[in-house]
Structure 1
């Protein structure tokens, strides 16, 4: 159980008990601030939890729950998710959704209704495939009725740059809000990586000896000018 002792110029020494560093780091990743609560650093834990989770949830709301997903419908990794994954548990439903929708979907695990299978993108419009006794026929439908992909689920349907696929619809209908949602959730993950480092290594405390050395180098640099 490593302990950091900080002796300020005035007052009593400050003791920071990091306890089990690896467990602290894991808890800090699992839920922002949890590792600091485990270490008894409640004020810092609450600060990280409120700031990081609120940033992530605001971004998730801006992107209507669709700006966080692990892979696309073709199984290719969404590279933004590498940063979003840093938030831990709040971003894990994206992994579950990607696994459960990779082979056609599992209704039990899907958190919302996905993009329906009876909608198809052809040319530059979306069509609904009506199935009846006479067979299949297509009829145009409003674009807004096609936005039914699940929370944190990958965009459904084929990915094609030449037709308005599901991902293109998200960008078209949410406009800059989708990109802002990606940015917010990505930054939240990066911030939590810093919080994980703080839980593992402790606060970046400048000791009295280090401060004296910094002042000595500063004065030496001034004298050489």
Structure 2
């Protein structure tokens, strides 16, 4: 019989102590459970207006007002929060796409109508750009009041603003030549492209509204949590972080 005990009978805790005393590392291959996990900033969920990402503090101020401003004018909510770089990016990109689509469609692709045969559901998405699409509601209500019992536009109807965002004259029937058919004939595929461009711009602004309300990414931009060893170096980087703050 061997005088040395079988290694399989030695407890794992004693083996770890022995390895440590001999200078062996027990963490050479860390398991997935030991890997550092990115945690969501809890301030995002508890209603606080100030959140910190990578050492940069962002003041979201009144979240609901910021979201309303971002809907009315793309980027306005970010300017209200002092996030000027994002605000400039959003107002240029979103409104450029929307105006390009509006022009491609001959300035007739954005209008509000729920009349049978011409239910313009596209407007729900186009209205995502806020104030730029609101004149269509005024014109749509004016057309509603000028529609008789037979579903036809009265002869005394005159749209406001030279027909800007006004619905087509009623009735709108696929089997007959109407004002919508004339718009298609003049613009061709540009009418369809303009409709999609204005819808996409509205959808993009919904994301802008969410960003104004929720703030920047709740996880560190660098992809890691701040370690204790970084705290000493963070004081020297304060000046650089402040210059980057309005870009978040």
* Fold in common (TM above 0.5): yes
Q: Following the alignment from structure 2 to structure 1, what is the Cα–Cα distance between the partners of residues 221 and 145?
A: 60
1:72–1:155 CA contact under 8 A, matched in 2:
no
Going by fraction, where is helix more abundant, 1 or 2? 2
2:72–2:131 CA contact under 8 A, matched in 1:
yes
Q: Following the alignment from structure 2 to structure 1, what is the Cα–Cα distance between the partners of residues 88 and 134?
A: 21
Show CA shifts across 1:118-164 (max 9, x none): xxxxxxxxxxxxxxxxxxxxxxxxxxxxxxxx121111131111111
2:49–2:59 CA contact under 8 A, matched in 1:
yes
Residues 106 and 161 of structure 1: CA distance in aligned 2, closer, same or farther (over 3 Å):
closer
Range that drifts further, 168-177 or 191-200:
168-177
Match of 1:54 in 2: 96
In terms of Rg, which structure is larger?
A: 2
Q: Following the alignment from structure 2 to structure 1, what is the Cα–Cα distance between the partners of residues 72 and 221?
A: 35
Match of 1:162 in 2: 175
Q: Following the alignment from structure 1 to structure 2, what is the Cα–Cα distance between the partners of residues 177 and 96?
A: 25
1:73–1:156 CA contact under 8 A, matched in 2:
no
Going by fraction, where is strand more abundant, 1 or 2? 1
Match of 1:184 in 2: 197
1:73–1:155 CA contact under 8 A, matched in 2:
no
Q: What is the CA-CA distance between 1:211 and the residue it aligns to?
A: 3.6
Match of 1:197 in 2: 210
Q: Following the alignment from structure 1 to structure 2, what is the Cα–Cα distance between the partners of residues 39 and 106?
A: 44
Q: What is the CA-CA distance between 1:26 and the residue it aligns to?
A: 0.2
In the alignment, does 2:83 pair up with 1:41?
yes
Q: Which runs of 5+ in 2 are unaligned?
A: 1-47, 147-155, 226-248
In the alignment, does 2:124 pair up with 1:111?
no
TM-score using structure 1 length: 0.70
Show CA shifts across 1:2-26 (max 9, x none): 111012xxxxx21111100000000
Runs of 4+ in structure 1 deviating by more than 4 angstroms, as ranges, are 72-76
- Counterpart secondary structure, 1:102: helix
1:171–1:178 CA contact under 8 A, matched in 2:
yes
2:117–2:172 CA contact under 8 A, matched in 1:
no
Q: What is the CA-CA distance between 1:207 and the residue it aligns to?
A: 2.6
- Counterpart secondary structure, 1:16: strand
Q: What is the CA-CA distance between 1:74 and the residue it aligns to?
A: 5.2
Give the number of equivalent residue pairs.
169
Q: What is the CA-CA distance between 1:75 and the residue it aligns to?
A: 8.9
Q: Which runs of 5+ in 1 are unaligned?
A: 8-12, 113-149, 213-225
TM-score using structure 2 length: 0.63
Q: What is the CA-CA distance between 1:168 and the residue it aligns to?
A: 1.4
Q: Following the alignment from structure 2 to structure 1, what is the Cα–Cα distance between the partners of residues 114 and 189?
A: 20
Residues 187 and 34 of structure 1: CA distance in aligned 2, closer, same or farther (over 3 Å):
same
